[in-house]
Structure 1
Amino acid sequence: MAGVVLRSSLARAPSKVPSLLSRSYATSTPARAHHRVVVVGGGTAGITAAAQLKRTPQLANSDVAILDPAPPGWTLVGSGLKPLDGMKRPLADVVPTGVKHYPLTVSTFEPENNVVKTSEGVNVSYDYLVVAPGLETNFAGVSGLQEALADPTSLVSSIYSHKTVEQVWRNIQGFKKGKAVFTQPAGVIKCAGAPQKILWMALSQWNRNGVRGDIDATFATGAASMFAVPKYSEALERLRRERNVDGLFQHNLVAVDAKNKVATFKNLADNGKEVQREFDFLHVVPPQKPWDWVAKSPLADAAGWVDVDKATTRHNKYANVFSIGDASSLPNSKTAAAITSQAPVLVENLLAIMEGRKPAAAYDGYASCPLLTGHNELMLCEFKYGGVPKETFAGVFGSQDQPMRIFYHLKKDLFPTVYWNSFLKGTWFGPKGWSKPSSLS
Structure 2
Amino acid sequence: MLALRGQVYMKNSILRCLSTSPSLTGENQKYKLLIVGGGSAGCTMAAKFGKHFKKGEIAVIEPADTHYYQPMFTLVGGGIKKLSECGKPMRTVLPDKVKWIKGSVTEFKPHNNSVTVLNGDEITYDFMIVAAGLQLNYEEIPGLVEALNVPNTGVCSNYSYKYVNRTYEILKQFKSGNAIFTYPNTPVKCPGAPQKICYIAEDYFRKNGIRDKVNIIYNTSLPVLFGVKKYADALWKVVEQRDIKVNLRRNLVKIKPKEKIAVFQNLDVPEELTEMEYSMLHVAPPMSAPNSLKKSKDLVNDLGFVNVNKDTLQHFKYGNVFALGDCSATPNSKTAASVAAQSDIVYQNLLALMEKRPLKGKYNGYASCPLVTGYGKCILAEFDYDLNPLETFPISQDKEMWLMYTMKKDLMPPLYWYGMLKGVWNGPGAVRNILHLNMKK
Q: Give the TM-score, by structure 2 length.
A: 0.90
* Offset of residue 22 of structure 1: 3.1
Give the equivalent residue in structure 2 for 1:349: 349
**Which letter maps to 1:411?**
K
Counterparts of 2:80 and 2:413, CA distance in 1: 12
Counterparts of 1:419 and 1:23, CA distance in 2: 29
* Offset of residue 322 of structure 1: 0.1
Worse overlay, 115-124 or 265-274: 265-274
Q: CA 1:204–1:60 in 2, change beyond 3 Å: closer, same or farther? A: farther
Give the equivalent residue in structure 2 for 1:399: 396
Deviations for 1:106-142, whole angstroms, at most 9, x for unmatched residues? 0111111100111112211000000001010000111
Please give the residue correspondences for 1:19-38 in structure 2 after superposition, counting only pairs within 5 Å: 22=17, 29-38=25-34
Deviations for 1:326-381, whole angstroms, at most 9, x for unmatched residues? 00001011100001100000010001111111211100000000110001011100
- Aligned partner of residue 264 in structure 1, secondary structure: strand
Counterparts of 1:433 and 1:135, CA distance in 2: 29
In the alignment, does 2:350 pair up with 1:315?
no
- Aligned partner of residue 112 in structure 2, secondary structure: coil
Counterparts of 1:20 and 1:269, CA distance in 2: 58
- Aligned partner of residue 266 in structure 1, secondary structure: strand
Give the equivalent residue in structure 2 for 1:9: none
Counterparts of 1:399 and 1:20, CA distance in 2: 55
Give the equivalent residue in structure 2 for 1:109: 108
2:35 corresponds, among 5, 16, 39, to: 39
* Offset of residue 20 of structure 1: 13
- In structure 2, runs of 5+ residues without a counterpart are 1-13
- Aligned partner of residue 294 in structure 1, secondary structure: helix
Deviations for 1:387-419, whole angstroms, at most 9, x for unmatched residues? 1100001x1xx2111110000000001111111
1:65 corresponds, among 59, 62, 77, to: 59
Please give the residue correspondences for 1:179-328 in structure 2 after superposition, counting only pairs within 5 Å: 179-297=178-296, 298-328=298-328
- Aligned partner of residue 360 in structure 2, secondary structure: coil
Counterparts of 2:142 and 2:197, CA distance in 1: 22
Give the equivalent residue in structure 1 for 2:406: 409
Alignment RMSD (CA, Å): 2.2
**Which letter maps to 1:374?**
G
In the alignment, does 2:363 pair up with 1:363?
yes
Counterparts of 1:209 and 1:128, CA distance in 2: 55
The answer as to whether partners of 1:31 and 1:121 remain within 8 angstroms in 2 is no
**Which letter maps to 2:391?**
E
Give the equivalent residue in structure 2 for 1:86: 85
Counterparts of 2:178 and 2:254, CA distance in 1: 17
* Offset of residue 27 of structure 1: 7.4
Give the equivalent residue in structure 1 for 2:47: 51
Counterparts of 2:157 and 2:84, CA distance in 1: 17
Give the equivalent residue in structure 2 for 1:11: none
* Offset of residue 290 of structure 1: 0.6
Please give the residue correspondences for 1:150-165 in structure 2 after superposition, counting only pairs within 5 Å: 150-165=149-164
* Offset of residue 432 of structure 1: 3.8
Counterparts of 1:131 and 1:266, CA distance in 2: 34
**Which letter maps to 1:392?**
T
Worse overlay, 84-93 or 37-46: 84-93
Counterparts of 1:435 and 1:215, CA distance in 2: 41
Q: Give the TM-score, by structure 1 length.
A: 0.90
Worse overlay, 237-246 or 302-311: 237-246
**Which letter maps to 2:288?**
K
Q: CA 1:62–1:350 in 2, change beyond 3 Å: closer, same or farther? A: farther
Counterparts of 1:413 and 1:429, CA distance in 2: 19
**Which letter maps to 1:413?**
D
* Offset of residue 187 of structure 1: 2.2
Deviations for 1:82-122, whole angstroms, at most 9, x for unmatched residues? 11111111211111221110001101111111001111122
Counterparts of 2:178 and 2:143, CA distance in 1: 19
Q: CA 1:412–1:51 in 2, change beyond 3 Å: closer, same or farther? A: same
Please give the residue correspondences for 1:134-149 in structure 2 after superposition, counting only pairs within 5 Å: 134-149=133-148
The answer as to whether partners of 1:179 and 1:278 remain within 8 angstroms in 2 is yes
Counterparts of 1:104 and 1:145, CA distance in 2: 27
The answer as to whether partners of 1:427 and 1:434 remain within 8 angstroms in 2 is no
Q: Sequence identity, in percent? A: 39
Counterparts of 1:106 and 1:295, CA distance in 2: 12
Give the ranges of 4+ consecutive aligned residues of structure 1 lying more than 4 Å apart after TM superposition. Answer: 23-28, 69-73, 433-438
Counterparts of 1:83 and 1:27, CA distance in 2: 34
Counterparts of 1:143 and 1:27, CA distance in 2: 35
Give the equivalent residue in structure 1 for 2:171: 172
Q: CA 1:41–1:21 in 2, change beyond 3 Å: closer, same or farther? A: same
The answer as to whether partners of 1:152 and 1:167 remain within 8 angstroms in 2 is no
Give the equivalent residue in structure 2 for 1:336: 336
* Offset of residue 296 of structure 1: 1.4
**Which letter maps to 1:44?**
S
The answer as to whether partners of 1:367 and 1:383 remain within 8 angstroms in 2 is yes
* Offset of residue 292 of structure 1: 1.2
* Offset of residue 61 of structure 1: 6.3
